[in-house]
A and B are shown apart, each in its own frame.
Chain A
């Protein structure tokens, strides 16, 4: 909604700018004469700015949090029980304008269930030498598997090190999560997973995954 408001305001702003320019089209000499005290005002501005707080962030020594929705490193999210959300559909890879994402889908089997439903992302790579952090992949993702974190310190000293594999991107295991593969929550389908009706890991999931 905020974007729309901005769009509506833009033509207005342009108009005021134009009329301002027209009113100031007087010969230069007159402006200089009448602007003499304005010039002095400028000196006051720079002088007072000296005592203002500086904008500089002394970055490596003092780290400030980024903006809330800063586009940082990607993350592959998990369902509450630890199954991966990624279904290997490659929509992110297709959406990527920089061709930075490589996905290879795989088929879930009863023995090795990585994500709810039939398919999961077998190989998932993001090349951070190509990624432009535009976020189109996040918009493309149908299961909310791919999101971005605020982490921005991605520099490294080798090309290979900047191609992040699936295990680099997967979200850490939280309370109640079990690392895939393990069977789906008893009595649930991929739809219940998608709707977020799975509360957490079920005791049966643990035993069967360990078995």
Chain B
């Protein structure tokens, strides 16, 4: 009996228990993640980070949470009260919902019941995650809109544009996974990776997904929605107390969510690293949770690392990167990947596969060379023309700023 069928036989109370368990894991992971992020970023900047509350400062986020809860809850006069209250709730609930289909363990026994730590396994599981993530954007948009203030509005607009455009790239990067696994169910995708992780087989998809997931979660270097220097706090400028805490929680659970999805789709989910399969039976199967968390936290470390290394991108560069680089690249990759897949399914000869690969490689290289050459030629022409072709000014005008210097 596979895990999907096993999950279908869960009695109601087990589902409730698992729901609570998933919620608790998410919240604890968030508290730990905030602490870890602050400590690690601090180390990257040669600081110590929070180390006062509890051992190694581990209780710092808990203390901050309590402090936030005790703060005055302000609703601005200009705010749309109902939407203003609903927005953080949308953010916080949707981020937890995506965890419903995340497989966290293999087969385990929970209170004597044989099951797996996953609320449900639906045939369109990953699609469901994408859908929920899209709903989550509403939290940010509505927060920005309902605050009745300029900065939140701009921040909300930015982040909605950002999340929507990076969701396209994200969705496209997953297409190859769906094709290779032949399913959208998280369990099936994990099972399909038994002979090789998709992070290796579908490396371009993996790279695109990793970039898109950073954009999707509004994290540095793509944290334009809350660019402190430009927009104060972005969409949550007007929020305080528990409502602000909810946004904070949502951000980190979202990070965990996309990391968990990346783990599931590309790193073989809760399975052990290749060659360490025997560990999956330790603790009655519960050791798989350790593997799952280890992979998720590795992704989280990358998030922190990015934040500690890269400066924030400019908004237009960011959108240009999403629409003009990520999406075309993933489209081309889908074509190439699907052709490979078809060739394999139809038992094409090895020569045909290698030939096709070589052909694609040459085509891409040729296209790159041509664009580069033409760009160079255009530049040379422009440099020539700058002296000869500009008409002499008839009366004093401000100097013309050539666009090449403004915009890359």
List A residues at the B interface (Cβ < 8 Å): 25, 27-29, 31-32, 39, 42-43, 45-47, 49-50, 52-56, 58
Contacts and interface: CB of A to CB of B under 8 A. Distances in A.
Contacts of A31: 408
Contact of B408 (A32, A52, A58): A32
Nearest to B308: A46
* Leading 10 A-B pairs by shortest Cβ distance: A28-B408, A29-B408, A50-B43, A56-B48, A46-B44, A46-B309, A46-B308, A55-B46, A42-B309, A43-B309
Nearest to A30: B408
Contact of A52 (B46, B309, B407): B46
B176 to A, nearest CB: 24
A49 B48 contact: no
Given A49-B43, A49-B45, 11 more contacts: A27-B405, A27-B408, A31-B408, A39-B310, A42-B309, A43-B305, A45-B309, A49-B46, A54-B48, A55-B46, A56-B48
Interface of B: 40, 42-48, 305, 308-310, 404-405, 407-408
A50 B48 contact: no
A42 B44 CA distance: 11
A22 to B, nearest CB: 13
A43 B301 CA distance: 12
14 contacts: A27-B405, A28-B408, A29-B408, A43-B305, A43-B309, A45-B309, A46-B44, A46-B305, A46-B309, A52-B46, A53-B46, A55-B47, A56-B47, A58-B48
Contacts of A32: 408
Contact of B47 (A28, A42, A45, A54): A54
A5 B305 CA distance: 41
B309 A54 contact: no
Nearest to B41: A46
Contacts of B48: 54, 56, 58
Nearest to B379: A27
Label chain A's interface by main secondary structure.
helix
A43 B47 CA distance: 17
A172 to B, nearest CB: 36
B345 to A, nearest CB: 36
Contacts of A47: 44, 305
Contacts of A49: 43-46
A55 B309 CA distance: 19
Nearest to A47: B305
Nearest to A53: B46
Given A39-B310, A46-B305, A54 B43 contact: yes
A54 to B, nearest CB: 5
A29 B48 CA distance: 37
Nearest to A31: B408
Q: Pick the most buried of B40, B308, B310, B407: most chain A CB atoms within 10 A of its CB.
A: B308
Q: Pick the most buried of A25, A43, A47, A50: most chain B CB atoms within 10 A of its CB.
A: A50
A58 B51 CA distance: 10
Contacts of A56: 46-48
A27 B44 contact: no
A45 B305 CA distance: 11
Contacts of A45: 309
Contact of A50 (B40, B310, B404, B405): B40
Contact of B310 (A27, A42, A53): A42
Nearest to A51: B43
A75 B156 CA distance: 58
Nearest to A55: B46
Contacts of B305: 43, 46-47
A27 to B, nearest CB: 5
Given A42-B309, A43-B305, A43-B309, A54 B408 contact: no
Contacts of B407: 28
A110 to B, nearest CB: 61
A29 B371 CA distance: 13
B47 A50 contact: no
Contacts of A58: 48
A56 B48 CA distance: 6
A37 B42 CA distance: 25
A45 B308 CA distance: 10
B51 to A, nearest CB: 9
B404 A27 contact: yes
Contacts of B42: 54
Nearest to B408: A28
Nearest to B304: A46
Contacts of B408: 27-29, 31-32
